[in-house]
């Protein structure tokens, strides 16, 4: 099993494995210079050296070059400060070339040799002339990378519907699939305005409670079921999976809220036949 160290380059981003051979006793929180496909980068140790299974390694395991020195960190801070200037310059150049793109972020590597611009666009763009122009302006290796709207929200940050910072920008390292079915399972309104985030895609948080709703709804009666309650037989009007309660209309036409714990002998769902007689199995003790 190979020895690896986990390194992250920015907050709330994926952790990558590197080979720490030759760099002894790395600890969590230390800054290191590592070899990447973009050249040398400075990252922070998130997982201390340990052995992992071969299946966890994707592609060739690249090396940790050295611990980051004070000079490396000073260089990185200097070029981080210049990123806003580079972003503004790239936007100007994109307008000059009349390219239908929105440049959202500029990112230098720690020593300024490599500069990446992230942009969004509705379709693929031929930006070869723009790259050449930017290369002459910055005297660095230029890369333009097209990203989606979710990635844009992650890079830019913002405030979500909950009033907190966006999950994708503060702690969520990878996007998980989100479907409209999750909103239906949670009995949420299906209005796009109410279940979409700042990226105009379905809210990532729809997936957080998915498993709870699925498991809870398995044991609770469904809307329309006729059940026995401590106050008599009634029809389930609504189910609250979070509180594990049901709103029930009794035969007396009184509406009450009943908790799952109160259903000491949950009834099998019954239906009403054409003669008005109920059909169904007898209650089965829990």
> The domain spanning residue 114 has which CATH number?
3.30.300
120 and 179 within one domain: no
What is the pLDDT at residue 78? 97
161 and 189 within one domain: yes
Q: Are 234 and 212 in contact (CB under 8 A)?
A: no
Q: Are 212 and 182 in contact (CB under 8 A)?
A: no
The Cα–Cα gap between 49 and 52 comes to: 10
What is the pLDDT at residue 195? 95
Q: What is the pTM of this model?
A: 0.78
What is the pLDDT at residue 58? 83
Domain that holds residue 84: 79-147
Ranges of the chain with pLDDT below 70 = 264-286
Which tens digits make up the pLDDT trace of 111-147?
999 999 999 999 999 999 999 999 999 989 999 999 9
99 and 116 within one domain: yes
Is 74 a domain residue?
A: no
What is the pLDDT at residue 284? 41
- Report the domain count for the chain: 4
230 and 202 within one domain: no
227 and 264 within one domain: yes
90 and 44 within one domain: no
What is the pLDDT at residue 56? 85
Q: Are 248 and 236 in contact (CB under 8 A)?
A: yes
157 and 143 within one domain: no
What is the pLDDT at residue 194? 92
What is the pLDDT at residue 266? 46
Q: Which of 13, 34, 68 is the last residue of a domain?
A: 68
Q: Residue 141's CB: how many other CB atoms inside 10 A?
A: 14
Structure tokens at 76: 């990185």
Q: Are 199 and 180 in contact (CB under 8 A)?
A: no
């Amino acid at each position: 099993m190979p020895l690896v160290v986990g390194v992250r380059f920015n907050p709330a981003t994926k952790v990558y494995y590197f080979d720490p051979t030759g760099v002894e006793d790395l600890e969590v929180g230390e800054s290191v210079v590592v070899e990447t496909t973009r050249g040398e980068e400075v990252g922070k140790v998130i997982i201390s050296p340990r052995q992992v299974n071969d299946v966890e390694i994707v592609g060739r395991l690249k090396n940790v070059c050295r611990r980051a020195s004070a000079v490396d960190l000073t260089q990185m801070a200097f070029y981080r400060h210049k990123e806003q200037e580079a972003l503004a310059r790239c936007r100007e150049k994109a307008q000059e070339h009349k390219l239908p793109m929105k440049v959202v972020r500029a990112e230098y590597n720690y020593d300024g040799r490599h500069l990446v611009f992230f942009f969004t666009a509705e379709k693929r763009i031929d930006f070869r002339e723009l790259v050449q122009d930017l290369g002459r302006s910055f005297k660095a290796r230029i890369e333009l990378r097209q990203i989606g709207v979710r990635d844009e929200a992650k890079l830019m940050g913002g405030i979500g519907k909950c009033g907190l910072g966006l999950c994708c920008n503060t702690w969520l390292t990878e996007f998980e699939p989100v479907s409209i079915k999750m909103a239906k399972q949670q009995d949420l309104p299906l209005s796009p305005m109410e279940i979409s985030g700042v990226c105009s895609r379905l809210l990532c948080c729809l997936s957080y409670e998915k498993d709870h709703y699925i498991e809870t709804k398995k044991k609770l009666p469904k809307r329309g079921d006729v059940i026995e309650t401590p106050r008599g037989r009634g029809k389930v009007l609504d189910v609250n999976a979070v509180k594990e309660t049901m709103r029930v209309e009794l035969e007396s036409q009184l509406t009450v809220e009943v908790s799952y714990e109160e259903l000491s002998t949950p009834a099998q769902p019954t239906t009403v036949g054409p003669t008005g007689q109920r059909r169904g199995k007898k209650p089965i003790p829990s």
